[in-house]
């Protein structure tokens, strides 16, 4: 695998050098904004390729310990890194994209040049594209999909969701699709039913929409895109941006109310006591305490939570 990584990194580096060589040669009649547009559009294949490479290499990494005394690993270190790279991209792209849209509505200009907004927007988009390619490759090469609802399990998951939602909303959902709420709710596994049936599918759809519409918009700098297609791509891009802003608020609200889940997305670890109480289905699948390696000292989760978990 080392040769593949070397080859991929060399190809990516050469690609970026070639793009920079053209953009900064002094021979192009581009202003700062147009130059950024061209650099971003031409870099896209290399960004996606790098994401695919990293996703494939993550699959070859040695498995990490699933649990130690008192703590359980909820995410791999690669997943945590990928999540925060994507999050940084979303914050940068959303902040600059929102400003661009809102300033058009209210009719004001920022005290900094416009091209800087686009530059930061493209940096955010680069991080999102890299993450999308990274995660899609990682999932495609694996067999386990704990965030996806397995085939034939949707009703069971929706019943779990109805029990997790506030009583009135859960009852409404149960009435709408005919769920038997008198049955014992299915035990929560590694991810909550809300995460699996609502949150993750919505994120997937929104990231796909913003990525594809953004790619079409960027494509016009290297290929003649018809005006009608561009119009619809721009409309979808803006509408998806608003939906992502809403979903991000919901995502933050959800994890802020479940602090150990947020900690696990920073440290990879979650306390076993929390898993036992809130994720009993997952707890049953964990190896027994005697089969686990000894704890390697205080976990990062303890450090972040001030030892309170």
Can you give the binding site for other proteins, defined by CB under 8 A?
A: 98, 102, 104-107, 239, 242-243, 245-246, 249-250, 252-253, 256-257, 259-260, 262, 271, 273-274, 277-278, 304-306, 308-309
Comparison of 147 and 305: residue with beta carbon closer to other proteins: 305
Sheet of strand 71-73, all strands in order from the earlier edge strand to the far edge: 67-68, 71-73, 269-271
Helix axes 167-177, 154-164, angle to 10 degrees: 150
Comparison of 19 and 245: residue with beta carbon closer to other proteins: 245
Comparison of 157 and 251: residue with beta carbon closer to other proteins: 251
Q: How far is the CB of 101 from other proteins (least distance, A)?
A: 9
Contacts for 228-231: CB closer than 8 Å, 24+ residues apart: none
Q: How far is the CB of 287 from other proteins (least distance, A)?
A: 22
Rg of the chain (C-alpha set) = 23
Q: How far is the CB of 249 from other proteins (least distance, A)?
A: 4
Comparison of 30 and 91: residue with beta carbon closer to other proteins: 91
Dihedral of CA atoms 234, 236, 80, 51 in degrees, nearest 10, equals -60
- Distance CA(158)–CA(194), nearest Å, equals 9
231: Cβ contacts below 8 Å, ≥ 6 apart = none
Instruction: Take residue 104 and report the two structure tokens written for it.
Output: 């058009």
Comparison of 103 and 156: residue with beta carbon closer to other proteins: 103
Comparison of 205 and 239: residue with beta carbon closer to other proteins: 239
Comparison of 105 and 294: residue with beta carbon closer to other proteins: 105
259 burial (CB, 10 Å; 0-12 / 13-18 / 19+) is middle
Q: How far is the CB of 258 from other proteins (least distance, A)?
A: 8
| Per-position b or e across 93-112, b if 16+ CB within 10 A of its CB | bbebbeebeeeeeeeeeeee
Element (H, E) at 100: helix 77-106
Instruction: Take residue 259 and report the two structure tokens written for it.
Output: 């602090």
Q: How far is the CB of 268 from other proteins (least distance, A)?
A: 16
Q: How far is the CB of 48 from other proteins (least distance, A)?
A: 29
Q: How far is the CB of 206 from other proteins (least distance, A)?
A: 13
């Amino acid at each position: 695998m080392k040769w593949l990584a070397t080859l991929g990194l060399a190809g990516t580096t050469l690609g970026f050098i070639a793009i920079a060589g053209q953009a900064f040669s002094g021979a192009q009649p581009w202003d700062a904004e147009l130059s950024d547009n061209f650099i971003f559009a031409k870099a896209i294949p290399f960004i996606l390729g790098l994401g695919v490479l990293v996703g494939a290499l993550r699959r070859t990494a040695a498995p990490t310990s699933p649990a130690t005394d008192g703590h359980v690993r909820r995410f791999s270190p690669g997943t945590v890194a990928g999540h925060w790279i994507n999050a940084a991209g979303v914050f940068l792209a959303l902040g600059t994209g929102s400003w661009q849209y809102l300033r058009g509505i209210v009719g004001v200009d920022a005290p900094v040049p416009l091209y800087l907004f686009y530059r930061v927007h493209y940096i955010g988009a680069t991080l999102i594209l890299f993450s999308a390619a990274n995660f899609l490759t990682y999932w495609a090469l694996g067999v386990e999909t704990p965030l996806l609802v397995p085939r034939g399990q949707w009703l069971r998951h929706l019943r779990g969701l109805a029990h997790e939602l506030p009583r009135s909303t859960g009852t409404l959902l149960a009435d709408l699709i005919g769920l038997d709420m008198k049955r014992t709710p299915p035990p929560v596994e590694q991810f909550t039913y809300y995460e699996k049936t609502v949150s993750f599918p919505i994120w997937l759809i929104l990231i796909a929409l913003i990525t594809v519409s953004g790619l079409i918009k960027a494509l016009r700098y290297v290929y003649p895109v018809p005006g009608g297609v561009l119009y619809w791509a721009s409309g979808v891009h803006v509408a998806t941006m608003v939906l992502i802003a809403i979903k991000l608020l919901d995502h933050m609200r959800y994890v802020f109310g479940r602090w150990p889940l947020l900690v696990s997305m920073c440290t990879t670890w979650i306390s076993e006591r929390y898993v036992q109480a809130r994720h009993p289905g997952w707890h049953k699948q964990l190896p027994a305490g005697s089969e686990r390696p000894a704890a390697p000292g205080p976990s990062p989760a303890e450090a972040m939570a001030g030892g309170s978990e």
